[in-house]
């Protein structure tokens, strides 16, 4: 299965992660599964790359993390903060604006 072109992915993992975590807290593996499922497997990332994104979002205060041991395995669960919710609202608005503009451009009938 081919991985998604990285050049098109700038900022997308952040948007997807915030979206997924706005529903429930999850750990890295679950987030990657969640992205695959929610996008119908059309967005496939190198799975380990999710961690720099998660850590960056946590450092910026958009996510908070807590460690839990589940079935003998150490898990770090992430959940969205109030600041993260605001950030999600802002970037999803931007995203909608950009996609609408790109679609308009693609559908524009050139004469």
Partner 1 sequence: MSNQNFSKKIAQARVNMLQAGVSPKYVRRSITELKAHFADLKEKHLQDGMNQSEAEILAGQQLGDLQEIVRQTAARKELLSFISLHPRLTLFVFPLLSYVLMTLLCIGAILVAVELSGMNTLADGEPLPSGILPFFHLVAVYLVYLFPVLLAVALVYLGTQRLFRQKHLLLSLVLISILGSIWNYSITGGVVGEGSINLTVALFGFAPPFGFNADYFLRAVVRILCIFAVAYCFWQKLSASQAETD
In the complex, the residues that contact partner 1 under the rule CB under 8 A are: 27-29, 32, 45-49, 51-52, 55-56, 59-60, 65, 73-76
Contacts 24+ apart (CB under 8 A), 20-28: 21/63, 21/78, 21/79, 21/80, 21/84, 22/80, 22/84, 22/85, 22/88, 24/79, 25/77, 25/78, 25/79, 26/77, 26/78, 27/75, 27/76, 27/77, 27/78, 28/54, 28/76, 28/78
Residue 3 C-beta: closest distance to partner 1, Å? 8
Residue 33 C-beta: closest distance to partner 1, Å? 9
Residue 106 C-beta: closest distance to partner 1, Å? 30
Using the minimum distance from each CB to partner 1, give the nearer residue, 33 or 97: 33
């Amino acid at each position: 299965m081919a991985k998604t072109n990285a050049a098109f992915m700038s900022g997308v993992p952040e948007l997807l992660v915030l979206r997924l975590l706005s529903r429930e807290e999850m750990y890295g593996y679950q987030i990657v599964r969640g992205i695959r499922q929610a996008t119908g497997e059309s967005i496939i990332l190198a799975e380990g790359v999710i961690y720099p994104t998660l850590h960056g979002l946590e450092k910026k205060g958009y996510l908070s993390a807590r460690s839990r041991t589940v079935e003998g395995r150490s898990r770090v669960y992430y959940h969205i903060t109030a600041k993260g919710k605001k950030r999600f609202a802002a970037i999803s608005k931007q995203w909608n604006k950009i996609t609408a503009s790109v679609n308009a451009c693609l559908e524009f009938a050139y004469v």
